[in-house]
Structure 1
Amino acid sequence: MVSKPTYTDQQLELYLERIGYSNSGDRLQILRQSIQNDALGTLAELQRRHLAAIPWGNSGMHYSQHHTIALNPHWLFEKMVNRRLDGYCMENTGIFFIVLRSLGYHVYATGGRVSHAAAKGVNNGLYLAIGHMILIVMIQGEKYMVDVGFGNNCATAPLPLRENATATYIAPSEMRLVKENLVEFTDPSQKVWVFQTRYNPESDWVPQISFSDVEFLPQDFEVMNFSVSQSRTSWFTKTFICTRMLLNLDGTEVKGQCVMTGHEVKRRVRGQTEILETLQSEGDRVRALAKYFDMHLREDEIQGIKGMASELI
């Protein structure tokens, strides 16, 4: 039987501290008891806290000397827990995958396609190539979509694989899953799950990601990761972005987002957007990463962006 990577109890303790789960010294014991009592509710809390604590971003492609992304479980932990840096889709969801497995959840990963509506702002029914990681978690015979790696459009709670099961995204926005045939499919009988969001209950639904519930293997994600992080046509290699979710005071609800893109840092809370800071230089951006995202870059990482298209000059 193939051995699947897990984290040790010591690593899990550090991860829980990183996401702010419980102030108690025996937080891992508390968590395991919570999973026994309410596996779905505990999963939802872990997802919320992960989204608010570990930024979604692509600093490894811009603020580094190597400009590469590694999916090795040890490196994921070193980068996002020990160094307290960000991670993009397959990094953030990759570490969450291993954490959930280590806690005893029945979980596997699958691949998804990002819609043109999400990637290009054009809702034409088309999708990019498979390049996104989604988790399927099984609890009491039901499957749930779980994602912590889709930036400001990321699902904020586990969604059951049931059609039209609408849930609050970030109020007043909503999210749901539907099953559809993609316009480029040859066989009209083939359908996949589509994760959709809408701005409010009166707005149109917008497709974000399509995916099946077929399990993908680590070698599949290695190929996907290489393409997304290294292709000269990949948006990720040209633009730096960093986002994280914002929780209400008691941590029970995602109330908004903090987003750094281009020359601005913005905060969006319940549909209202506020510009927190305008960035004039690389020094401004490095300081803003520390201030708003608790990301503290080393000097060699800061120098890594020199000469790149994403450098602020």
Structure 2
Amino acid sequence: MAPYTADQLETYLERISYPAFGDTRVQNVQVHKEADPLGTLSELQRRHLCSIPWGNSGLHYTQHHTISIHPQVIYDKLIHRKLDGYCMENSNLFYLILQSLGYQVYATGGRVSHAVATGRNDGLFLAIGHMILIVTIGNEKYMVDVGFGNNCATRPIPLKENIIVPHIAPSESRLVKESLLEFTDKTQKIWIYQTRYNPESEWMANICFSEVEFLPQDFGVMNFSVSRNPASWFTQTFVCMKMIMSEDEKEIEGQCVMSGREVKRRVCGKSEVVEKLESEEDRVRALGKWFGMHLREDEVQGIRGMASMIK
């Protein structure tokens, strides 16, 4: 039994602006998947990233300040309400969509690097707290991610070492397989997803992960830790971002990021501040303008008294 119904798939495809030919978008995507499964997967990932914001509003702009990763709760939040979600929401949704479309896919857990989390490029990683998808097409496995914010992979990356893949121009990405500094058994090697700003820059580790399948209950534990731990960055800071599609819809050319008191657009390696946020009213209005997110009054009131509130 597919996780989502045909009607839910149709609404999801409409949400990500997947083109409609023939009777339904679902029929169109199935025809393309049959002819070119990798190309179709790439297009789904690209459109998802450019349509559904990545962020953690559920921890700041709600009365309950919690995140549910139940499939129907995620679907209602990201598709019907058109709100944002962090990795275990966005990636969980995409995982279940791919399952429903007939892809061979499973989920595994990843660790975020200190370089990303703290700015210290010391070769160390945080505890497991990220969701990665592994999709098998033919005899090849691919890393797929729609939940890593600014440095998220923008296309499927083959599980092969040192294949350089375009990211958001001029940046590039790749996978390498190495042992971690803290491993006591150095014969154990895992995948490390790296990016660099341009071909002349140094590679930076973003996430490490193995190929071991994780179960829904594993992500339940991870989600609880990431969303409820007072020391978690997600509980302290509000952030929202969405990728920007090129005019021909063939590439991702940039991203729109709300962080702190600014909204920035980064396109083709150039960044500009497009709006300054002086108050909570400014930020709520900007969420609608730049991300298509429209919060209810009870959600807006939820941030009162929190460290993340603009005062």
TM-score, normalised via structure 1 length:
0.98
Task: Count how many residue pairs are aligned between Structure 1 and Structure 2.
Answer: 310
Alpha-carbon separation, structure 2, partners of 1:76 and 1:55: 13
Matches of 2:24 and 2:234 in 1, distance apart?
A: 39
Letter in 2 for 1:297: L
Name the residue aligned to 1:235: 233
- Match for residue 297 of structure 1? 295
For 2:176 and 2:252, how far apart are their aligned partners in 1? 23
- Within a 5 Å distance, the mapping from 1:1-150 to structure 2 comes to 6-24=3-21, 26-150=24-148
- Corresponding position of 2:160: 162
Tell me the distance in 1 between the aligned counterparts of 2:15 and 2:46. Answer: 13
Segments of structure 2 that go 5 or more residues without pairing to the other structure are none
Secondary structure (helix, strand or coil) at the match of 1:134 reads strand
**Separation in 1, partners of 2:18, 2:270:** 28
> Partner of 1:205 in structure 2?
203
* Partner of residue 187, structure 2: 189
Query: AA paired with 2:45?
Result: Q
Instruction: Work out whether 1:310 is the aligned partner of 2:311.
Output: no
Which residue does the alignment assign to 2:254?
A: 256
Instruction: Output the amino acid matched with 1:19.
Output: I
Q: What CA distance in whole angstroms lies between the structure 1 residues aligned with 2:223 and 2:139?
A: 31
Aligned partners of 2:194, 2:152: CA distance in 1, in Å? 10
Unaligned runs of 5+ in 1: none
Q: Secondary structure in 1 aligned to 2:266?
A: strand
In structure 2, distance between residues paired with 1:146 and 1:26: 26
Q: Distance in 1 between matches of 2:240 and 2:193?
A: 22
Q: 2:171 aligns with which of 173, 198, 209?
A: 173
* Whole-Å separation in 2 of the counterparts to 1:260 and 1:163: 34
**Within 5 Å, which residues of 2 pair with 1:242-281?**
242-281=240-279
Name the CA distance, whole Å, in 2 between partners of 1:67 and 1:193. Answer: 33
**One-letter code of the match for 1:215?**
E
Alignment partner, residue 225 of structure 1 = 223
Post-superposition CA distance 1:65-104 (Å, at most 9, x none): 1100001000000000000000001000000000000000
Q: Which amino acid aligns with 2:215?
A: L
Displacement of 1:270 after TM fit? 1.1
Q: Which amino acid counterpart does residue 151 of structure 1 have in structure 2?
A: G
> Residues of 2 paired with 1:194 and 1:246: CA distance?
25
Distance 1:234 1:270 in 2: 31
Cα RMSD over matched residues? Answer: 0.8
Quote the offset at 1:23 in angstroms: 4.0
- The separation in 2 between residues aligned to 1:284 and 1:190, in whole angstroms, is 49
Deviations along 1:116-135, whole A, 9 cap, x unmatched? 00111111000000000000
After superposition, the C-alpha distances for 1:217-268 in whole angstroms (9 at most, x for unaligned) are 0000000000000000000000000000001012110000000000000000
Offset of residue 17 of structure 1: 0.5
Q: Which residue in the other structure is 2:150 paired with?
A: 152
Q: Is the 8 A contact 2:20 2:28 kept in 1?
A: no
Normalized against structure 2, the TM-score is what?
0.99
